[in-house]
Amino acid sequence: MPTHEKRRLVTSKGDPEAEYAKIPPKKRFEEMGAQFIEAPDLEEIIEALIATHESLFGHLADRKVTGLWKAKGGERNGKLTLGMCVKPSGLAQYFADCDFVIWLAADHHRDLRSTALQVEACCYHELKHCGLTHADAPTVVGHDFEGFADEIIEYGAVRPGINYMAAAFRQLPLDIEGPSSARNGARTVEAAAEDLMEVLQREGHGVDGIESMTMSTAKKSVTIPKRGKGR
């Protein structure tokens, strides 16, 4: 995933770019004979995110969100499922005694060697799915945007939803390529292109037919080849 310069974790604990050390090992699930295990570490992150981003998650301040690690995340539509937000109902809600359950896939995060920041980002993503209806009842909210890299390459930000995300991407500090770039920690065009290709490839966003990607600024243009599957 992209490197976030000088980014601090919401819990203010540890190095954001260090490999996350609290992912339970496969053996622990096997010894417990469980598919899910409690995750107080994830709940700490979730609570910190809610407190830090009050404008986004203030509606969850009085709601109970349970964090769990799941032994195997599996795949959905050919893509790894790194986590999920679930609204328990019926008998499950009775035993869960919470409004939402957020679980992260222990196997995938171990295999990907996810960093602390990446785990936090996954928790943030799943929290964005936690919403309330007009009747103040818990509900799972869909994504702001779903699409393919190829359609953006072909048509740009034309379709409703894509233009919303385009505006968000324009706010990202990708590159300044000035004389003080290195001193100020600015990302180069090469780094930005490599990061974007890595994210697209890792998340499976339509890169099978793309052998390389070109990113340009007013001063520079670079082409980044797609990385091998073993990377």
Q: Are strands 130-132 and 138-140 parallel, antiparallel or unpaired?
A: antiparallel
**Would the pLDDT of 114 be above 60?**
yes
Per-residue confidence (pLDDT) for residue 77, from 0 to 100: 85
Instruction: Burial-class residue 156 by CB neighbours within 10 Å (0-12, 13-18, 19+).
Output: exposed
State the pLDDT confidence band at 230, using cuts at 50, 70 and 90.
Answer: very low
108: how many CB neighbours lie within 10 A of its CB? Answer: 20
> What is the reported pLDDT for 186?
39
- At 56, the pLDDT band (50, 70, 90 cuts) reads very high
Cα 52 from Cα 74, distance rounded (Å): 31
Phi-psi region of 14 (alpha: psi -120 to 50; beta: other; left: phi over 0): left
Kindly tell me if the per-residue pLDDT of 219 is higher than 70: no
- Measure the CA–CA gap between 101 and 208, rounded to whole angstroms: 33
Q: Could you give the CA distance from residue 192 to residue 177 in angstroms, rounded to a whole number?
A: 11
Q: Give yes or no for residue 223 having a pLDDT over 80.
A: no
Residue 7, pLDDT above cutoff 90: no
pLDDT at 101 over 60: yes
What tokens appear for 211 in the block? Answer: 């052998």
For the stretch 161-217, pLDDT in tens is: 676 677 777 666 544 343 333 333 334 555 555 555 555 555 444 445 545 555 544
Phi, psi of 68 (to 5 degrees): -140, 155
Predicted local distance difference test score (pLDDT) of residue 5:
54
CA distance 137 to 131: 8
Q: Cα separation of 174 and 194, whole Å?
A: 12
Q: How many CB atoms within 10 Å of residue 100?
A: 24
pLDDT at 121 over 50: yes
124 — pLDDT class (breaks 50, 70, 90): very high
* Confidence grade of residue 218 (pLDDT, cut at 50, 70, 90): very low
d(CA 60, CA 157): 32
pLDDT band (50, 70, 90) for residue 24: very high
- The domain segmentation of the chain, as residue ranges, is 26-140, 149-225
Q: What is the pLDDT, as a whole number, of residue 136?
A: 95
Determine whether 102 is exposed, middle or buried from the number of CB atoms within 10 Å of its CB (0-12, 13-18, 19+).
buried
CA separation for the pair 206, 151 (Å, rounded): 9
Per-residue pLDDT, 187: 46
Residue 171: per-residue pLDDT: 65
Tell me the average pLDDT of the chain: 79
Residue with tokens 């992260």: 104
Q: CB under 8 Å to 144, separation ≥6 — which residues?
A: 161, 164, 165
Rounded CA-CA distance 230/96 in Å is 39
